[in-house]
Amino acid sequence: MNLAALRPLGSSGLLVSPLALGTMTFGTPRWGMDEAASKAVFDRYVELGGNFVDTADVYSGGASEEMVGKFVAEGVLRERMVLATKSGFNTGNGPHEGGQGRRHLEAAVDRSLKRMQTDYIDLYWIHIWDGITPALELLQTMTGLIAKGKIRYWGLSNSPAWFVAQLATLARAHGLPAPIGLQYFYSLVERGVEDEHVPLAREFGMGLVPWSPLAYGLLTGKYDRATVEAGPRTGGVPNSGGDTGDRPDDDKRLDGDNPFGDQLFTDRNWRIVDALREVAADMGETPARVALAWVAGRPGVASTLMGVSRADQVTDNIGALSLSLPSKAIAALDAASGEGGRFLYGFFQPAARNQMVFGGADVIARPAEGGA
């Protein structure tokens, strides 16, 4: 299999490569890339047959969308590429600069279209559930954006299964455009989506697009536990642009501040890394390719997001598509990773939601029916 072997995303006519190019690294300080390095990564992906590029309005303060739009325009590639972007995390200083209310989404789409130099977005993701906006309002907003020709399809990321099911059911009942994809953290260290989201996607015809299949590089096997535990890191959304600086060759994403902070450095996850290293050594492969092949081969996965910081990593990751994991290897990885890993629902705690989605505003959800 290679990048040019396209497949439909869910029950739709949108055809995508088996590996999508994630662009969170485009323009992000410290562990990201400047424009020249980002262009080299983009060019390598396109040269090798890839057609699915994923960004977000929050990445590097909008610089990622701008780079993607510029690269596509310069290469006259718009008709070939599937461009996806997202909104939901707060991008400004007010409560309406995030979330999934109609006011924010209409404005966010227009800003993304301008930054990406395009008349339409192929796939628009709701980046995170805001815990406030009713499902019907969101469905009507997305229906309107499709009717206006601003987006072609839509999907959901970082949302609880019950909310996704409500949206899909409403869309089916009213004959409205339903979400065609789900984008979630899915890797050997985070398998929470298997409980509800994977069967939900199968039932409603949504393709799964895992993000961070290598757990921000933890599953490359390049981290030393003693070194990692020597210093704490803080978490947060990568919404700042600016000078990416000179990045040392041995600098890794989780070494400093990153969206996960220290959450990934658990006893369980270190055991998974050890099992992965052993499987990779037995196969004569790298831990990264084995971990990526495991995710790409999971039931329901349509395309897997890869986030890279060098062009040669694109080539290396593509090697995972032709990797067939022996049943013994799969059993060993499943045994090590089967328990734990429920990252998603931490997003939905009121304090975290108010900070990430509503810019620190004190937003109170509607009380439950019958409650105080």
Which tens digit of pLDDT belongs to each residue from 268-310?
999 999 999 999 999 999 999 999 999 999 999 999 999 999 9
Strand, helix or coil at 66? helix
Catalytic residues: 59
Distance of CA 173 to the CA centre of its chain: 29
**The pLDDT of residue 355 is above 80:** yes
Concatenated DSSP letters for 83-137? EEEEE-S--SSSGGGSSS-HHHHHHHHHHHHHHHT-S-EEEEEE-S--SSS-HHH
CB atoms within 10 A of CB 372: 4
Residue 370 is predicted with a pLDDT of 44
User: Tokens 């055991």 sit at which residue?
Assistant: 271
**Amino acid 246: pLDDT:** 58
Q: Is the dihedral of CA 306, 160, 129, 203 positive or negative?
A: positive
Q: What is the mean pLDDT of residues 300-325?
A: 96
- pTM reported for the whole predicted model: 0.89
What's the mean pLDDT in 110-133? 98
* pLDDT above 70: residue 329: yes
User: In the structure encoding, which two tokens stand for residue 251, read together?
Assistant: 């600098």
Looking only at the bridges linking them, the beta strands covering 121-126 and 82-87 are: parallel
Which residue is associated with the tokens 């323009």? 27
Tokens describing residue 300: 């329901």
7-8 and 15-16 beta bridge pairing: antiparallel
Average per-residue pLDDT for the chain: 90
Distance between alpha carbon 337 and the CA centroid of its chain, in Å? 20
CA distance 163 to 344: 13
pLDDT in tens, 248-273: 555 555 555 555 656 788 899 999 99
Give residue-wise pLDDT tens across range 28-42. 876 689 999 999 999
- Range with lowest mean pLDDT among 50-64, 77-91, 176-190, 349-363: 349-363
Q: Express each pLDDT in 172-192 by its tens digit.
A: 999 999 999 999 999 999 999
Residue 312 has pLDDT above 80, yes or no: yes
Burial class (CB in 10 A: 0-12, 13-18, 19+), 231: exposed
Q: Could you tell me the domains of the chain?
A: 7-356 (3.20.20.100)
